[in-house]
Amino acid sequence: MNELIVLFGTESGNAELVADDISAALQEKGTAVRVADMEDYAVDDLGEADMVVLVVSTYGEGDLPDTAAPFHDALVEAKPDLSGVRFAAFGLGDSTYETYNLGVATLRATFTALGATQIGETGYHDADSGLNPSDVAVAWVSTVLAVATPS
């Protein structure tokens, strides 16, 4: 794998912290990683990524957070061909909401519809669990990347 991109979408910063901690854990294992906020990332560049790790929370009533919504809108509008893209997905939510973790489900469905291939199971952090989001995410990403075949 040449480069892995961790793209985060957040409203109050938790997904950014998780993205940074995933990146640090992977870099320790020798993987080249870049972290970017979805709002600063051009959807046309996605086709160049070897592997994308999506880290996104849910806000409102099952909506995407502030920095992910424009990225998702751009995907729906531009419809880039993602058939060469492999992605993993991690959601941050709170199970006290009926719309638990719908944000990551929305993004995952759009990536899949555009031809991207999901690697491993979607990971979830539940704010109601009391667990540290980064601990959950770092354990999740290592199982996902064990599934991913390096290209």
Ligand X SMILES: Cc1cc2nc3c(=O)[nH]c(=O)nc-3n(C[C@H](O)[C@H](O)[C@H](O)COP(=O)(O)O)c2cc1C
Positions in the binding site for ligand X (CB under 6 A):
10-15, 57-62, 65, 92-94, 97, 99-101, 127
CA-nearest of 35, 123, 110 to 78 is 110
Smallest gap from residue 137 Cβ to ligand X (A): 11
Hey, is 80 helix, strand or coil? Answer: coil
Residues 6+ apart with CB under 8 A from 102: 58, 62, 63, 93
Residue 18 vs 114, nearer CB to ligand X = 18
Smallest gap from residue 99 Cβ to ligand X (A): 4
Residue 10 vs 106, nearer CB to ligand X = 10
Find the residue with minimal CB distance to ligand X: 93
Whole-number Å distance between alpha carbons of 76 and 99? 21
Six-digit token pair at 129? 């669990």
Smallest gap from residue 19 Cβ to ligand X (A): 9
Residue 100 vs 111, nearer CB to ligand X = 100
